[in-house]
A and B are shown apart, each in its own frame.
Chain A
């Protein structure tokens, strides 16, 4: 059974800092790894998708990496802004489990001016 863990549970940083969010998973047979952000009371917004054959993906100030051998993914946010404040979730799409994403508990990020 796949388990996904995110560390830290919460993070508070001043504006402008570069930061790293961590995601670990127990089963290396993942299909792809997807990062989301969620604003309070809202749905999930897809940030980045890394397929199992890839090592990293970049979108603007975001960079996500995937290391299947160690069971880890990281989301790097450069030059953080107050608008980045949200909950960040990683999710594994297991290769043999149709349509099912297994989520971590999320990291609550607060960027203060």
Chain B
């Protein structure tokens, strides 16, 4: 069974540009969550999607957005990149929104560097 796949693994972008990151969850998983990891702030929740609907959102500016497709694949977009957006972006998938099977499985992450 394939794990969570994130593409690309590495990205270098210039300030002011925008970027799109992709996450393919484990087959059958309908919930996809996104996190930002930085040395100073640790892991911070961005948003969660379930069946193409955003159900939860963290405290990030509107420059951070996401979406989920009918096959559960998800993308997140960051517009007008800032130096502080440099981070490891992780996505996680789980099989149910609530209940016994809510174990979260993470991808390898996308390392974004903004210069």
Contacts and interface: CB of A to CB of B under 8 A. Distances in A.
Contacts of B56: 97-100
Interface string B1-30: 000101000000000000000000000000
Contacts of B104: 34, 46, 91, 93, 101
Nearest to A100: B45
B67 interface: no
B58 A43 contact: no
A70 B103 CA distance: 23
Q: Interface centre among A34, A44, A99, A106, by most B CB within 10 Å?
A: A99
B108 A43 contact: yes
A89 interface: yes
Contacts of A97: 56
Contacts of A61: none
B61 interface: no
Interface in B37-72: 42-43, 45, 48-50, 55-56, 58
Interface residues of A, number: 26
Interface string B79-115: 0000000001010101001101011111111010000
Given A93-B102, A100-B58, A105 B42 contact: yes
A32 B102 contact: yes
Contact of A98 (B48, B88, B92, B107): B48
Interface in A57-113: 89, 91, 93, 95, 97-106
Contacts of A49: 102-103
A105 B50 CA distance: 27
Interface of A: 31-32, 34, 36, 41-46, 49, 51, 89, 91, 93, 95, 97-106
Interface of B: 4, 6, 31-33, 35, 42-43, 45, 48-50, 55-56, 58, 88, 90, 92, 94, 97-98, 100, 102-109, 111
